[in-house]
């Protein structure tokens, strides 16, 4: 720091010249200021400015250029944390969304170059492309919110666009009524059992127990009590990365449960056991050369039955679970019984989905559908 007295138009004044510190580019910041009435005033000003400069609060501080990532770089950073918080099956679905619907359009775009106009055009296109497009773009929005928090951008571009209303999907059939269910079981028992015994046993088991597909695919022989007529549901089959599968925990704590199975279904399971080449306790009940079936296989079998025999038309595997619940309530099972049997975490799940069903009392939950098919 240098101090000297100089002559100005208003008379004599003190001037200070010195370096405040280093700028973000590594160069020293030099200041020169005059107009002080005394040497002490000039010194006090300079020392105070040095302190402000060191704290980044001086008028002489140059703002460091913002570090701005591309959408792909943001995604990779976000993924490092996200992948440790979800099941592998959920991760696989999320990766697919980014791979198909986000990165191809935005991967190489710096996040500060996402304009409201380009984003609005993208949303309009996605609304046409996907029925439930908001879920996909919701992941994109997670990245822009992250960019705001990291000071890469000042404003989230999603706050400047309008989200188009999602298109209404065609109403899909959710369940069979009693007559349709009877016909479905008659086809399985009378015809399809001769075509594909494994597929027959799986479809019938789901139909008369309402088990989730992921639960029945993870079923092992050790989980079946043939003498007592019980099935212990302790695990589920998840879709892993790269098309693989893995055994995971059930959907929720209440999904881990023991259910009573109708005696005729137990006999059919025993028959399949006798035919099976994989009979070890840890062997999967339904398998392909000892390995668990792919998650989509049961749906393909169900569609095969629908196409060939004109039953369960328009129904997916989860529709068998809906059918079980609907008919169980109609046959007199209580909401609490159905909730427990299906492994719903909350009775409201049962009530919200099946609120239109008349509920009657019943004590034999495991046998409630037997009256329809016996």
Average pLDDT, integer, range 15-37: 89
User: Which position has the higher pLDDT, 368 or 120?
Assistant: 120
pLDDT value for 89 = 87
Q: List, in order, residues 6 or more apart from 150 with CB less than 8 Å away.
A: none
87: its two tokens: 């099941």
How sure is the predictor about 365, in pLDDT bands with cuts at 50, 70 and 90?
Answer: low
State CA 48 to chain mean position distance.
Answer: 54
- To the nearest whole number, what is the mean pLDDT of the chain? 89
pLDDT value for 362 = 39
Identify any residues that bridge with 245 across adjacent strands, giving them in sequence order: 239
Judged against a pLDDT cut of 70, whether residue 186 lies above it is answered with yes
pLDDT value for 366 = 62
**Range 145-154, long-range pairs (CB < 8 A, 24+ positions):** 146/74, 146/77, 146/78, 147/69, 147/74, 147/111, 147/112, 151/66, 152/66, 152/67, 152/68, 152/69, 152/111, 152/112, 153/68, 153/111, 153/112
Judged against a pLDDT cut of 80, whether residue 63 lies above it is answered with no
- Cα–Cα distance, 1 to 16 (Å, whole number): 7
Residues 28, 19 contacting (CB under 8 angstroms):
yes
- What's the CATH superfamily of 178-373? Intergrase catalytic core (1.10.443.10)
Q: What are phi and psi of 355, to 5 degrees?
A: -65, -20
- Cα–Cα distance, 134 to 122 (Å, whole number): 12
**pLDDT tens by residue, 85-135:** 998 889 999 999 999 999 999 999 999 999 999 999 999 999 999 989 999
**pLDDT tens by residue, 255-310:** 999 999 999 999 999 999 999 999 999 999 999 999 999 999 999 999 999 999 99
pTM, whole model, 2 decimals? 0.68
Q: Which of 159, 365, 118 is nearest to 262 (CA)?
A: 365
User: Which position has the higher pLDDT, 162 or 368?
Assistant: 162
pLDDT value for 64 = 62
State CA 210 to chain mean position distance.
Answer: 23
The domain locations on the chain are 2-54, 71-160, 178-373
Q: What percent of the chain has pLDDT over 90?
A: 68
Average pLDDT, integer, range 328-335: 85
Average pLDDT, integer, range 73-82: 95
């Amino acid at each position: 720091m240098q101090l000297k007295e100089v002559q100005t138009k208003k008379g004599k004044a003190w001037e200070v010249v010195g370096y405040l510190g280093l700028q973000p580019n590594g160069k020293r910041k030099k200041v020169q200021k005059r107009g002080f009435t005394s040497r002490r005033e000039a010194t006090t000003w300079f020392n105070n400015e040095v302190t402000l400069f060191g704290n980044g609060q001086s008028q002489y501080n140059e703002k460091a250029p913002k570090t701005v990532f591309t959408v792909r770089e943001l995604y990779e950073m976000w993924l490092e944390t996200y992948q440790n918080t979800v099941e592998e099956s959920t991760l696989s679905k999320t990766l697919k969304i980014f791979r198909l619907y986000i990165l191809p359009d935005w991967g190489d775009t710096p996040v500060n170059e996402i304009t409201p106009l380009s984003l609005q055009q993208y949303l309009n296109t996605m609304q046409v492309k996907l029925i439930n497009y908001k879920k996909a773009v919701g992941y994109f929005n997670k990245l822009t919110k992250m960019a705001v928090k990291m000071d890469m951008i000042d404003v989230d571009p999603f706050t400047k666009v309008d989200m188009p209303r999602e298109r209404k999907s065609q109403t899909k059939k959710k369940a069979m009524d009693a007559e349709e269910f009877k016909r479905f079981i008659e086809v399985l028992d009378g015809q399809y059992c001769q075509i594909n015994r494994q597929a027959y046993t799986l479809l019938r088991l789901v139909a008369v127990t309402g088990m989730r597909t992921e639960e029945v695919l993870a079923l092992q022989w050790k989980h079946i009590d043939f003498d007592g007529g019980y099935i212990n549901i302790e695990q589920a089959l998840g879709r892993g990365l790269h098309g693989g599968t893995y055994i995971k925990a059930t959907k929720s704590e209440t999904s881990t449960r023991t259910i009573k199975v109708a005696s005729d279904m137990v006999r059919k399971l025993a028959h399949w056991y006798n035919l099976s080449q994989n009979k070890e306790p840890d062997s999967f009940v339904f398998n392909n050369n000892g390995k668990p079936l792919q998650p989509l296989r049961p749906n393909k079998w169900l569609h095969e039955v629908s196409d060939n025999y004109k039953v369960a038309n328009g129904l997916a595997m989860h529709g068998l679970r809906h059918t079980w619940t609907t008919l169980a309530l109609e046959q007199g099972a209580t909401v609490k019984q159905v909730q427990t049997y299906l492994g719903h975490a909350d009775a409201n799940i049962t009530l919200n989905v099946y609120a239109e069903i008349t509920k009657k009392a019943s004590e034999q939950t495991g046998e409630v559908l037997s009256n329809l098919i016996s």
